[in-house]
Amino acid sequence: MPKHGLIEFDAVLAIARRGSFRAAALELGLSTTALSNVIGKLERQLGVRLFNRTTRSVSLTDAGRNFVDQVGPAVKTLHDAMGAARSQQEIPSGTLRINAFATGAREVLGPLLLKFLRRYPHVHIDLVTEGRIVDIVAEGFDLGLRSADLVPSDMIAIPVGPPRSFAVVASPEYFRANGKPRVPPDLLRHSCLRIRLPNGALHRWQFEKEGQSVQIDVQGPVTLDEASLSRITVLDHVGIGYFMESDVREDIEAGRLVRVLEDWTPLLAPLCLYYPSRRNPSAAFKALIDMARGPAG
């Protein structure tokens, strides 16, 4: 059968290889008449004859020999590229580019993305983390990862990861020396880690209980813009920090940090992988979406 998209070139090369329209037609799965029409159309487009034809033989013209010499390697390269692209429809391979914010990436890296890579070793994930929200289509990403309430309305979204909430924590030593806040306004009497957002603004700590929302503009000795730095600081007993619970879960479970005001930090919108509606997704893309929709998600 002729290869999709390259029929004219395949026809010329097959006739040159076989020395016969009939043999070339059999190789390509075409009728002799159809093959002759393909060659005639190409010759009219080029303005030259490629073959000398008699009732008994077929041979390349000088123009035909030059044409075959030049297009032969290029057609092979194109077929190889098309074959590689088709293979990605069958076996998960190639690169998936994902844009995420850092905390979300940390939440799904182990339970979803690394598990996916172990299952599909021919796939490469290019994970870009940044605080700003980007247009994933315009910037060349296959998928985005954001809180559900930040996913554009024209995207398909798949919830992933465990339930999420904020956590207010400090070391046991800090609380022994300074006492624990019982309600959010108590934080104003404590040393707190201030948070700088990606846009440069200082973050007001958000709380909610029984429909009542409170924002606290905390004060303290240091302003940080990265959760790992904040974690180091609270573990050194400097003050109280405000984190995604997943970033300090192990420290809480191990007793290195103590959580307070938990009744004021309800569950948040879930994380979502999101993407535009697309035709002919790669096998790697489909495999990741299937895994995200399943137990791993």
Residue 220 lies in a domain: yes
The answer to whether residues 297 and 159 touch, using CB atoms and an 8 Å cutoff, is yes
Residues 138 and 274 in one domain: yes
How many CB atoms are closer than 10 A to CB 282?
22
* Boundary (domain end) residue, out of 52, 87, 122: 87
Q: Is 193 inside a domain boundary?
A: yes
Put residue 140 in one of left, alpha, beta given phi > 0 → left and psi -120 to 50 → alpha: left
Cα 51 from Cα 141, distance rounded (Å): 48
Q: What pLDDT, in 10s, does the model give residues 151-202?
A: 999 999 999 988 899 999 999 999 999 999 999 999 999 999 999 988 889 9
pLDDT single digits (tens) 221-268: 999 999 999 999 999 999 999 999 999 999 999 999 999 999 999 999
Q: Domain residues for 118?
A: 94-162+270-293
Domain assignment present for residue 1? The answer is: no
- pTM of the prediction? 0.64
> At residue 3, does pLDDT exceed 60?
no
Residues 223 and 282 in one domain: no
Q: Which residues contact 71 (CB under 8 A, 6 or more apart)?
A: 9, 12, 13
Q: pLDDT category, 5, cuts 50, 70, 90? A: low
Phi then psi for residue 167, to 5 deg, are -140, 130
Within-domain flag for 256: yes
Residues 148 and 281 in one domain: yes
CATH number of the domain where residue 58 is located: 1.10.10.10
The closest alpha carbon to 16, from 82, 79, 61, belongs to: 61
Q: Are residues 157 and 282 in the same domain?
A: yes
Provide the pLDDT for residue 6: 81
Co-location of 77 and 143 in the same domain: no
| Number of domains the chain contains | 3
pLDDT at residue 2 tops 70: no
pLDDT at residue 91 in the model: 83
Packing angle of the helix pair 7-18, 62-87 (nearest 10 deg): 120
Residue 156 β-bridge partners = 275
CATH number of the domain to which 123 belongs: 3.40.190.10
In the prediction, which pLDDT does 295 show?
A: 58
pLDDT in tens, 21-46: 988 888 888 898 999 999 999 999 99
Retrieve residue 22's tokens.
Answer: 């009939």
* Domain presence at residue 191: yes
Cα–Cα distance, 256 to 169 (Å, whole number)? 10
Last residue of a domain, one of 43, 66, 87: 87
Q: Are residues 83 and 125 in the same domain?
A: no
Does residue 99 share a domain with residue 156?
A: yes
Q: Which of 45, 69, 87 is the C-terminal boundary of a domain?
A: 87
Q: Would you say residue 2 lies in a domain?
A: no
**65 and 105 housed in the same domain:** no
Average pLDDT, the chain: 90
- Same domain? For 129 and 81 the reply is no
